[in-house]
Copies of this chain bind each other. A is one copy, B any other.
């Protein structure tokens, strides 16, 4: 239970020490240590949120599970709300990063399909991160600290999807008689609904099967001409 503390600092640092002034080296090291500690605590926080929900997160447990003291998370993030917001952003960044990699070099309808695929691929990152993400999305309803972050997520997602659809319409690959903005919201909401269902019951939900049906559904519904799945 709990992560293994890795506070030991590798001996390799001494090598760099010669090249840089002592004061600098120290600040570097401190900053690095801080960055690592923060990152470990954000991961720990995500784990906890995945297990117990946003209200189940405590500063002390985040610190301990990351291998530090009960007080450190409070020391870095000052308050639970700030820890939550930071954690939400970290997860979202990770997801965004992944989607970008998948979209590289695509365009039009293929890009829309790749985007959907990116959603279905997310679980590969791990059930834990996904669970925490869903918890954050829903927590926005009650936690002002999350509301802002989630509003941003939604705006980004809507814009992205909307742009995708609009450009696919322009390319003549998607029927022009639909409302891009509304369709974007539907698609994004549907994907989130499916992911929520999956994290609730990973065994009972066959993501691969759903992905296929979902892509078929989208293609029949949106494509100006059928896509070969």
Q: Which residues of B contact A150 (CB under 8 A)?
A: 200
Q: Which of A159-218 contact B (CB under 8 A)?
A: 178-179, 182-183, 185-186, 188-194, 196-197, 199-201, 205-206, 209-210, 213-214, 216-218
- CA–CA, A194 and B186, complex, Å: 7
**14 A/B residue pairs, CB under 8 Å, sorted by A:** A52-B142, A53-B143, A135-B138, A135-B142, A138-B196, A154-B200, A154-B201, A179-B213, A182-B209, A188-B197, A192-B197, A193-B196, A217-B217, A218-B221
A102 at the interface (CB under 8 A from B): no
Q: Does A139 lie at the interface of the complex (its beta carbon under 8 Å from any beta carbon of B)?
A: yes
Shortest CB-to-CB span from A156 to chain B, Å, is 14
* Contact present for A185 and B205 (CB under 8 Å): yes
- Any chain B CB within 8 A of the CB of A51? yes
Contact indicator A194/B189 (Cβ below 8 Å): yes
Is B197 in contact with A142, judged by CB distance below 8 angstroms?
Answer: no
Q: Is A141 an interface residue (CB 8 A)?
A: yes
A59 to chain B, nearest CB (A): 15
Q: Mark A42-56, 1 if CB is under 8 A from B, else 0.
A: 000000000111111
Contacts of A185 in B (CB 8 A): 194, 197, 205, 210
A interface residues, Cβ below 8 angstroms from B: 51-56, 131, 134-135, 137-143, 150-151, 154, 178-179, 182-183, 185-186, 188-194, 196-197, 199-201, 205-206, 209-210, 213-214, 216-218, 220-222
- Does more than half of chain A's interface fall in helix, strand or loop, or is it mixed? helix
Q: How far is the CA of A179 from the CA of B55 in the complex (A)?
A: 38
Cα distance A55–B138 when bound, in Å?
12
Given the known inter-chain contacts A186-B213, A191-B193, please indicate yes or no for A141 contacting B179, CB distance below 8 A.
no
CB-CB under 8 A from A213, the residues of chain B are 178-179, 182-183, 186
Q: How far is the CA of A56 from the CA of B191 in the complex (A)?
A: 27
Which residues of chain B come closer than 8 Å to A188, judged between CB atoms? 193, 197
